[in-house]
Amino acid sequence: MESSTLAETLQLERLEVNLFRGRTPDDTPGRIFGGQVIAQSLLAAYETVENRLCHSLHAYFIRPGDPAVPIIFEVDRSRDGGSFTTRRVIAVQHGQQIFNLACSFMAHEDGLEHQTQMPAAPTPESVEDDHEARRRAMEADAAMPEEARKWMLRPRPIEMRSVGGPSFPAVSGPRDPQSQMWFRARDPIGENQRMHQVICAYASDMGLLGTAMRPHGLNWNTRGLQFASLDHAMWFHQPMNFNAWHLYDHDSPSASGGRGFIRGSIFAEDGTLVASVAQEGLMRLRKPK
């Protein structure tokens, strides 16, 4: 059976005027990837909006998603104004909210412009693909369980090239709370700018919490580490082609109270700042019993 593209996987079924159903790929273990729920919630909002593009979204992760059952997305048409359209989306499973999102849309408007300069970074062609780096690490780690090996080496819809290599499965001690990676969608997205935003929103949940872990020498496999995204905000500044390489530049200015805060800037390869991201995540290190 031919595998689906990410754009096809994220598609929703309309149940009612403002009610939609989404599903999770069969290979997702444990809990639903946060980027999927962000992307499908934005797509649900787009199903109720005409002739305007999203310029910002703000979301909260409330409960872990269950990949074994569909997600119901309820869209509240908060306002259709002269300049802005506002929507609120609630994602529900087992009769409970797992996620909610508020987003705003606007027609194109000319105005004052400026942007921060793209930071220095190696070219994407000079950075090793994360999948290849993981494959080599798995070959060198005979103790890695086979199921974990299969999960780490599964095909992924977003191509990623982390500057300095991915932090999992190994890190080499504490590092600065900064990181960079190049990323892009593997499958063609098409001409619809909405889908470029949706898939970029999906990918925007990648690598953020790992940056907050860096000063502490932690990674996803650290024993006793409990982590989860708590909230997520994103601003779209310019049109994008997410089939082309984009630099995702992260920094984590603070960690406290069991939470880590991370900022991200997404630049097109020509230096255009296309989107900004902010996230706070749970980051608890419990002593093994």
Query: Mind telling me the catalytic residues?
Result: 205, 229, 279
Q: Residue 98 CA to chain centroid, in angstroms?
A: 16
Spatial distance between the Cα atoms of 54 and 47, rounded to a whole number of angstroms = 12
- Nearest Cα residue to 210 out of 130, 120, 125: 130
The Cα–Cα gap between 237 and 43 comes to 18
Q: How far is CA 204 from CA 43, 113, 150, 266, in A?
A: 15, 24, 24, 9
Token pair of 201, please? 């929103």
CA dihedral for 101, 21, 46, 6, sign (positive or negative): positive
| Cα separation, 91 vs 72, whole angstroms | 6
CB burial of 228-244 (b: ≥16 within 10 Å; e: otherwise) equals ebbebbbbbbeebbbee
Instruction: Identify whether the C-beta of residue 200 lies closer than 8 Å to the C-beta of residue 273.
Output: no
**Residue of 285, 279, 283, 218 whose CA lies nearest to 250:** 279
The letter for the amino acid at 8 is E
Per the CB < 8 A criterion, the answer to whether 144 and 138 are in contact is: yes
Rounded-to-integer distance, Cα 115 and Cα 12, Å: 35
Write the DSSP symbol of residue 204.
T
Contact predicate 231/279, CB 8 Å:
yes
